[in-house]
A and B are shown apart, each in its own frame.
Chain A
Amino acid sequence: MSLRAGLAGLLCLGVTLALGWAVLERPQPAENLPERVAGAMPDSGVEHAVTAVLLNFRSYDTLLEIAVLLLAVVVALALREAQPDRPEPMGLENPLLRAVMAWLLPLILVVAGFLLWAGSYQPGGAFQAGSVLAAAGVLLRLAGVTTAWLDNAALMRTGLALGLLTFLGIGVVVMAPGVPFLAYPPEYAGTLILVIELTLTLSIGLTLISLFRLTPPYADDPDDARSDREARP
């Protein structure tokens, strides 16, 4: 046992030293990326370098990120629908929380909109705005406000897929003049990025709310639940 602990300690020390060495002995980058980004900014359609990289120069990576998020929520939905009953209503019967929500909700929506809009010239953007929207949804659920519109499966799935589909659609449409996938024409780039970010915000918000809503119904194992259901057709 002590031999094992000693070996683990040695390994930890080795990894730490290797990490320290990697940080201290960094290879010089082959080209100055910040300068290249600054040089290409006029063609990007936005004024904030991070947004330009995320949604224009390297938009393919962002597209795949959204696809991964959608995949995660599809798996969560599939796992949840394997359960025999519908998602439970949940709420803290707390009048104070409800009263505060009436004041907070408009504020949250305005902040989400501002973050989305600010993404073009300062830190902000679809991911942050989407998570603020999701926070509003989580608070609504905690306050026990009825969220029946979230149970409309067709609407929900449309909303979840909207961001990815818009992104893909715009990426394909701009190929018409013979340019590569997702290479926006500079004169329309700003508008296209704004449309993509709007739909992404909605989809990301719905995705995060869905992950929060899809908690399993009870603490039994699913086999019990299934046999329970078969006993009472």
Chain B
Amino acid sequence: MPWLDLLLGITLVATAALSLTARDLFRGVIMFIVFGLLMALAWVRLQAPDIALAEAAIGAGLTGVLLLDTLGYLRRPFGSRADPTDERS
């Protein structure tokens, strides 16, 4: 299936470019997650299932979640606290 592989390669480069050039950070992170999943597919096509598993779990999953978490933290209003009644000692 060389056509599908070619399509996969083009899509990989396209999602990488989109995630780097996105004006909206959230869109960039989502594109990064899509890139990770496609990368896992590419590894499977290259007959490296171990790397594909690690890529899907760590590259797309956990890194994506961490980036989303960071994004939520950045979007908090300046000086806001999660728990205003927090008695910090």
Give chain A's interface residues, CB within 8 Å of chain B.
50, 84-85, 88-90, 115, 123-125, 127-128, 131-132, 134-135, 138, 208, 211-212, 215-220, 224, 229, 232
B23 within 8 A of A: no
Residue of B at shortest CB range from A138? Answer: B65
B24 contacts the other chain (CB 8 A)? no
- A85 to B73, alpha carbons, bound, how many Å? 16
Given A84-B88, A138-B65, A212-B66, the answer on whether A219 and B50 have CB atoms closer than 8 Å is no
Least CB distance from B20 to A in Å reads 14
Q: Does B82 contact A (CB under 8 A)?
A: yes
Q: Is the CB of A127 within 8 A of B54?
A: yes
Which residue, of B62, B76, B78, B80, has the highest number of chain A Cβ atoms within 10 A? B62
Pick the contact of A89: B74, B78, B82 (CB < 8 A).
Answer: B82
Q: Mark B57-89, 1 if CB is under 8 A from A, else 0.
A: 110011001100110011011111111001010
Asked if B49 is at the interface of the complex by the 8 Å CB criterion, the answer is yes
Q: Is the CB of A219 within 8 A of B61?
A: no
Asked whether, in the complex, the Cβ of A127 is within 8 Å of the Cβ of B82, the reply is no
Number of contact residues on B: which range applies?
A: 20 to 34
Query: Shortest distance in angstroms between B54's beta carbon and chain A's nearest beta carbon?
Result: 6
> Contacting B61 at CB < 8 Å: which of A124, A125, A135, A216?
A135
Q: Which residues of B approach A to under 8 Å, CB–CB?
A: 49-50, 52-54, 57-58, 61-62, 65-66, 69-70, 73-74, 76-83, 86, 88
User: Nearest chain B CB to A84's CB is how many angstroms away?
Assistant: 6
With a 10 A CB-CB cut-off, give which of B50, B54, B58, B74 has the most chain A CB atoms: B50
Further 14 A-B residue pairs, CB within 8 A, beyond A127-B58, A135-B61, A208-B58 = A89-B82, A115-B53, A127-B54, A128-B53, A128-B54, A131-B62, A134-B62, A215-B69, A217-B81, A217-B82, A218-B80, A218-B82, A219-B79, A229-B88
B76 touching A85 by the CB < 8 A rule? no
User: Of all chain B residues, which has the CB nearest A124?
Assistant: B53
* Nearest A residue to B79, CB-CB: A220
Q: Which residues of A contact B81 (CB under 8 A)?
A: 217-218
The answer on a CB contact under 8 Å between A131 and B83 is: no
B88 engages A85 (CB within 8 Å): yes
Tell me the complex Cα distance, A34–B82, Å. Answer: 54
Complex: chain B residue closest to A118, CB-CB: B53
